Amino acid sequence: MQLPGRPVPNTFEYIEATALREPQRLALVQDNRSWTYRDLYLDLSHVTHALLGLGVKRSDRVAVGMTGFREGLLLLLALENVGAATLSFVPENDPEKEQLFAHVDRAFSDVVQRVPGHVRFALIGDNFFARAPEAGLADPPRPPCVALEPHEPARISRTSGSTGRSKFMVLNRRAQEWWIHRSATTRRLRPESRSMPLGTFVLNANLVSSSACLRMGAAVFRLTRSNMAAHDITHITCLPSMLEQLLDSLPPGYVARVPVDIATNGGFASAQLRARAERVLRGSVRSRYGANEVGGICEVMDVQGIGVVGAGVDLRIVDEFGHELPQGRLGIISVRTPGMVAEYIGDPEASKAAFKGGWFQSGDWGTLIGPRTLKLAGRYDDLVNAGGLKVPAATVEAKVRELVNPTDCAALAVNLDGGATTLGIALVCDTADRVGVRRAIAQGVDLGAIVGARVVFLDRLPRTDNGKIDRVALHELLASPPPGSV
């Protein structure tokens, strides 16, 4: 049954309302340039008309890979305004281009791309965004504004997976709107907020947080990290590895003038990283737990990996057969939200394994330790077999961090040396006493009758473009350690 009224407004319509009400309000800052809501509205109107001139239409699936943050954001928001579903990629060195281009009708980039025959490619130069500088709010004809129905595709996302190959999935309008609404409310955004997402739009969280800010009338910043000291940023969205890079790039002795709300996604922020960020940026670190298949699950996880399940999230703990387990039992985290997808595109086997009866079976272990209170235990499919007892690798990593305080570490279940070595530990550790480190780990990591472990010392851990541990590359390093690492 068709409900009365029209769908909720898209991001362009919110920007338009602010531009007409407060045209000089700050909307976007990139390095040393700034744009008001008037500027942003006129730019988006211009780009929307340009897209329509290229024949882009509702229901088209369009891949966008722009070098510049502002240009990428303009294209994504204008494409949303014509009703297209967008997929983001890195214009250079994206290892999954061949796979992702198979899922779209068009591709836009400022770098020449090789695309399959069915994809229409457009090379986007600076002139594409150039509008008449004297244009006013009353001058350009108002472009059509497509507010998609809840069931229509809005965004194509990909898993951030640590196995080296992502899966792709469609978020419909209802799901993407829930992501945006959740970002605006849980981050406590206000019109005075100044938000800086780190990383590319491949992370849907960055498009979501930018959209949420602009809908609130707030400002979005993209700065070189060394320029951050000149701006009073109030919110940062990032991966933990990006937060560490940001802190490393700030001037010596820098302390933020205003407290910064920091939300980390895609990985656990260690106690050491949290303490450093809170000391320098003077705000709290929200280590968030979620999945691209469902959105946010817990908005804040403490250093023990404990957090309250968010509003609108149903969560249960199940065994490997899908049977729900009682509170206190360790099992697989199964979840459903208004922002979940239905399947992986073109991968029926993976879809069947992950989506069961309207629930998403995550790849994580956890325990419900109280009413809607989750304790995260690590990856259920990455367990260390300790004399028949299966221990999450994350538990081993936490213990190693406690024992030897490395800069970074990762543990991985392995099967090396004919089954004699079942645990691999990779360390980034600034010490010459490797014997002492190994002794501390051997004595302190209580894994019972574990058969054998291999510890390697690396300059850095291998990570995917999304900042997570690259498990395939790590396994290769553990199987064939580089010279001088053992």
b/e per residue 167-177 (b: at least 16 CB within 10 A): bbbbbbbbbbb
Residue ending a domain, choose from 166, 200, 222: 222
**Tally of domains in the chain:** 3
The CATH code of the domain that includes 372 is 2.30.38.10
Looking at residue 471, its pLDDT comes to 77
Looking at residue 450, its pLDDT comes to 53
Asked whether residue 484 carries a pLDDT value surpassing 90, the answer given is no
Q: How confident is the model at residue 137 (pLDDT cuts 50, 70, 90)?
A: confident
283 within domain boundaries: no
Q: Residue 243 to residues 39, 158, 186, 207: CA-CA distances in angstroms?
A: 30, 22, 20, 18
Percent of the chain with pLDDT over 90: 66
- Considering the domain architecture, whether residues 213 and 311 belong to the same structural domain is answered as no
Sheet with strand 408-416: strands edge to edge = 408-416, 421-428, 453-457
Residue ending a domain, choose from 348, 379, 410: 379
Domain residues for the domain of 429 are 383-479
Asked whether residue 448 carries a pLDDT value surpassing 80, the answer given is no
- Considering the domain architecture, whether residues 453 and 335 belong to the same structural domain is answered as no
471 within domain boundaries: yes
Give the mean model confidence (pLDDT) for residues 160-166. Answer: 61
For residue range 388-441, what is the model confidence (pLDDT) as tens digits? 566 778 888 888 998 998 999 999 878 778 667 878 899 998 888 999 999 898
Residue ending a domain, choose from 335, 360, 379: 379
Q: How confident is the model at residue 309 (pLDDT cuts 50, 70, 90)?
A: very high
Looking at residue 161, its pLDDT comes to 54
Looking at residue 419, its pLDDT comes to 66
Looking at residue 232, its pLDDT comes to 92
Q: CB neighbours (10 Å) of residue 212? A: 27
Sign of the torsion angle spanned by Cα atoms 109, 110, 111, 112? positive
Looking at residue 381, its pLDDT comes to 67
- 28 alpha carbon, distance to own chain's centre: 21
Looking at residue 443, its pLDDT comes to 87
Looking at residue 365, its pLDDT comes to 82
Least confident range of 33-47, 283-297, 470-484: 470-484
- Considering the domain architecture, whether residues 340 and 464 belong to the same structural domain is answered as no
Q: How far apart are CA 482 and CA 485, in angstroms?
A: 6
Give the mean model confidence (pLDDT) for residues 223-240. Answer: 86
137 within domain boundaries: yes
**Highest mean pLDDT pick, 59-63, 142-146, 364-368:** 59-63
